[in-house]
Chains A and B, each alone.
Chain A
Amino acid sequence: MATVKFSNIVKNFKDNQVLKRVDLEIKDHEFVVIVGPSGCGKTTLLRMLAGLEEISSGEIHIDDTLVNHLHPSKRQIAMVFQDYALYPHMTVEENMSFSLRIKSAPRKEIQERVAEAASILQLGKLLKRMPKQLSGGQRQRVAIGRAIVRQPKVFLFDEPLSNLDAKLREEMRVEIAKLYQRLGATIIYVTHDQVEAMTLAGRIVIMNQGVIQQVGTPIEVYRKPDNLFVAGFIGSPTMNFIEGTLRVEKGHVRFVSPSLSLDLPASLLPAEGAHEGREAVIGVRPDDVYAGREAGKNCSQKVDAVLEVSELLGHRENLYLKAGDLRLLATVEAFFNQSPGSVVPVCFNFENMHVFDKASQKRLSA
């Protein structure tokens, strides 16, 4: 049973405001991933929850208990650090049992809990090793093991996979997902990698410059990004953005830009006088840009674009296109049999298109 509630959290380092009024509620048994670019304050937020960093103002509750002034060890949390922070002079076993040993827990209990954690993480053979004798992935598992032994209400992970190579990162991602199912604890996981966020999270919290941009399930933040930042941050490859002006014409909205103009369907943006003359940005993911044959069968309102470069990914292919002065990325099915320099027809999937207000950066479309 563990819920976490951040209310109006502010953090200042001298004059530098790193977190600006963060409000967030995390439910019991939830896997929440906080994602954002480096330096946006994710670690700081996590450290404040752990009690390692002072709270400038605001309140943090764990299970309705105000923990602002509670010692880290009393908060029933466990943290896995980015650099693992394994005690270098202790064996794996000693590292994992440290919290119990300093409390003088009964030896039998210590053994049982270490053995249990070791079996969950398959660390049995490594218990007598020193941290420096372990590979990166093994150290990672020991750091998680140390957290499990404490039987915390909330697990905190700070970029746990960022020091691993790509293949190992994928493996550990799956292991962490399995671990979550097995432990059923509340997990707060911080990362700058949106792929990790999308694959692991029950709910994603997207942060930028100390402000929460959007909270939602992976599908929600992918399908309906609240603002331009989220739209650009979530999804790979990155969304295409087209800047232009909105005109309200007989019953529909027309988007006008130097390179292309589009009549937006009412399902995307209903015609209202308020939109007349508004500076807007259209966002469309590379998957929703149709080119060549796909453009022929799927849509109206075609534009001609020049193919600059194409990249074969396997079953998909990235096309770097240029329509007028506008650069577009389209991801289409392989094999797109056109050589660079040729002119291809391009159109857009209006169902998955997003319209944002340029001034407020907020989402306009439904």
Chain B
Amino acid sequence: MELLRSVYEVAGFILLIALGVAALEGYFYYHFKFHDRPWFFWAGLAVFPLLVWSGFVAGGIAKPGLFAWLFAIEAVVLAFFRYAVKGRHSLAYLLLLPAFVGLALLLVYPFLFEVYLSFHDLKLTTIMMWKNTGKIPFVGLEQYVKVFTTSPLSEVTFWALLGRTLLWTFSNVFFHVLGGFALALLLNNAISLKGVYRTLLVIPWAMPQVVAVLAMRGEFHSQNGFVNIILGRIAEAYPLLAGLGVGPVQWLSDYPLLTCTIINVWLGIPFMMVVILGGLQSISTSYYDAADIDGASYFQKLRYITLPLVKPVLMPAVTLGTVWTFNNINVIYLVTGQAGGTEQADILVSALYKAAFTYNRYSYSAAFAIVVFALLFFISVTYLHGFDAAKDER
């Protein structure tokens, strides 16, 4: 019975979406198809606002004045289709429509709402007022000032977090590329069991991150973790190394950011490896033949041929990797975010998450998120310029 109900719910949901898409398509079909008929305006105005309005009424969320608004909007849409679009490219737009509407609902609306929030003051003390009256106090740029002057957590400042985030991002991406490159170079040779190695190496990427991170976190446990057990054994076996300070370490409490970095490096290498391997395999072997005859050593071939020729595939991957790592809340939150967790490993986005959902400072977090967005935007654009220049070289 449980199962039947789930099936029924899912089917109903899919049906609802299909109906929604069909309604949308029908709505725009009318505007494309009949834009030059004499009855275009009055039929549109008579039908659509009424339909939507009755939908709102049936849902019990109609407000006074709603009908006038719908009427005005429809008038604008009708005029737009008659005088601007004039029925052109109708098929193309009708096919694109569901995707556009989906994106608007999932991306544009939340983003606009976030911008709205960031100029107001929504927090634990004002949320009831918002629910009851629909109004929250407007505060202008105050939230943005707060982003740079107060701490999103209990102690660490924005600037410390930013430094830590940059350190975290660049060290991670650096080791991703280094490890990915090394493994890709090994796999690009004619070795036996290549397929097996490749599969094994891709596993951390293929596994759900939550599972992978929690499993790794267990391995860094101070008493029962694999890492400390090995370190303990090494210290026992080689007293000399133990004298140099090798031994079990309180990973999670003493070095939380380092632990997160190690785990995330392990998680991120497969992606870079796969991308770089693809790049390596696309390099024609005749360049290496020519370089052999020209007398290039292994490292000269790496430096003067392999690197420049994988750059076009490497740069987009590095950009993506940078954005993902900068935004990577999973690893940090899962390793350190539990009750009693430390703030020593928090980066901008994990602090943002805590500010929003632990400390309930919604407007502050909205402003914070927009600042983070601006930073990432700047970094990405810089990278993109970088590889446009690289492309011109070729």
Determine the chain A residues whose CB is within 8 A of the CB of B393 once the complex forms.
Answer: 89, 130
- Report how far A99 CA is from B289 CA in the complex, Å: 13
The reply to whether B295 and A85 contact each other, CB–CB distance below 8 Å, is no
B290 and A87 contacting across the interface, CB-CB below 8 Å: yes
Q: Which of A44-87 contact B (CB under 8 A)?
A: 47, 50-52, 71-74, 77-79, 81, 83, 85, 87
- Is A150 interfacial (CB-CB < 8 Å)? yes
CB distance from A94 to the nearest CB of B (A): 9
Distance between B306 CB and nearest chain A CB, rounded to angstroms: 11
Contact of A98 with B294 at beta-carbon distance under 8 Å, contacts A87-B305, A130-B394 already known: yes
A166 within 8 A of B: no
A-B contact count (CB 8 A): 66
Are B293 and A88 touching (Cβ within 8 A)? Answer: no
Q: Chain B residues near A79 (CB, 8 Å)?
A: 289-290, 293
Which chain A residues border B284 with CB–CB below 8 Å? 83, 85
Contacts of A146 in B (CB 8 A): 290, 294
Answer yes or no: B149 CB below 8 A from chain A CBs. no
Minimal beta-carbon separation of B106 from chain A (angstroms): 41
Whether A102 is near chain B, meaning CB under 8 Å from some CB there, is yes
Docked-complex contact A98 and B304, CB < 8 angstroms: yes
B371 to chain A, nearest CB (A): 38
B309: contacting residue among A74, A88, A99, CB under 8 A: A88
* Interface SS majority for chain B: helix
Give B190 Cβ to nearest chain A Cβ, in Å.
13
- Contact of A78 with B394 in the complex, beta carbons under 8 Å: no
Of A47, A98, A132, which is within 8 A of B394 by CB? Answer: A132
Q: Is the CB of A102 within 8 A of B292?
A: no
**Contact, CB under 8 Å: B292 / A89:** no
Which chain A positions have C-beta within 8 A of B394?
88-89, 130, 132
Most buried by A among B293, B300, B393: B293
Cα–Cα, bound, A52→B287 (Å): 12
0/1 interface trace, chain B 285-316, chain A, CB 8 Å (1 if under): 01101111111110010001100110000000
Q: Which residues of A contact B304 (CB under 8 A)?
A: 87, 98, 102
* A102 lies within 8 A of B296 (CB): yes
- Verify B295–A83 contact, CB threshold 8 A: no
Cβ contact of A102, chosen from B289, B295, B309, cutoff 8 A? B295
Interface 1/0s, chain A 100-131, versus B by CB < 8 A? Answer: 00110000000000000000000000000010
Query: In the assembled complex, which residues on chain B have CB atoms less than 8 Å from the CB atom of A72?
Result: 292-293, 295
A73–B291 Cα gap in the complex (Å)?
9
Task: Count A-side interface residues using an 8 Å CB cutoff.
Answer: 25
| Neighbouring A residues of B292 by C-beta, 8 Å | 51-52, 71-73
A88-B309, A132-B394 known; A81+B290 contact, CB < 8 A:
yes
Contact with A along B350-394 (1 / 0, CB 8 A): 000000000000000000000000000000000000000000011
Shortest Cβ distance from residue B94 to the other chain A in the assembled complex, whole angstroms:
41
B286-A85 in contact (CB<8A): yes
Provide the bound-state CA to CA distance between A72 and B293, in Å: 5
Residues of A near B300 (CB, < 8 A) are 102
Q: Closest approach, in angstroms, between the C-beta of B258 and any C-beta of chain A?
A: 37
When the two chains form their complex, are residues A103 and B295 in contact, meaning their CB atoms are under 8 A apart? yes
Asked if A81 and B294 make an inter-chain contact with CB atoms under 8 angstroms apart, the answer reads no
Q: How far is the CA of A17 from the CA of B45 in the complex (A)?
A: 82
Complex Cα distance A86/B293, Å? 13
Cross-chain contact of B293 among A78, A87, A130, A132 (Cβ < 8 A): A78
Residue of B nearest to A131 (CB): B394
Looking at the assembled complex, report how far the CB atom of B326 sits from the nearest CB atom of chain A, in whole angstroms.
29
Partner of B287, one of A47, A73, A87, A102: A87
Q: Chain B contacts of A85 at CB under 8 A?
A: 284, 286-287, 289-290
Q: How far is the CA of A132 from the CA of B394 in the complex (A)?
A: 8
B293 and A77 contacting across the interface, CB-CB below 8 Å: yes
The distance in angstroms between the C-alpha atoms of A71 and B308, with both chains bound, is: 25
Q: How far is the CB of A254 from chain B (nearest CB, A)?
A: 56
Residues of B within 8 A of A74 (CB): 295
Q: How far is the CA of A150 from the CA of B291 in the complex (A)?
A: 12
Say yes or no: A73-B308 contact (C-beta < 8 A), given A85-B284, A102-B300, A130-B394. no
Do B293 and A50 touch (CB < 8 A)? yes
Q: Contacts of A102 on B, CB cut-off 8 Å?
A: 294-297, 300, 304
21 pairs of residues in contact across A and B, judged by CB atoms under 8 Å: A47-B289, A50-B289, A51-B293, A52-B289, A71-B292, A72-B292, A73-B295, A73-B296, A78-B293, A79-B289, A79-B290, A85-B287, A89-B394, A98-B291, A98-B294, A99-B293, A102-B296, A102-B297, A102-B300, A102-B304, A132-B394
- A residues at B contact (CB < 8 Å): 47, 50-52, 71-74, 77-79, 81, 83, 85, 87-89, 98-99, 102-103, 130, 132, 146, 150
Instruction: List 20 other contacts, CB 8 Å, given A51-B293, A98-B304.
Output: A50-B293, A51-B292, A52-B292, A52-B293, A71-B295, A72-B293, A73-B292, A73-B296, A79-B290, A83-B286, A85-B289, A87-B287, A87-B291, A88-B394, A89-B309, A98-B296, A102-B297, A132-B394, A146-B290, A150-B293
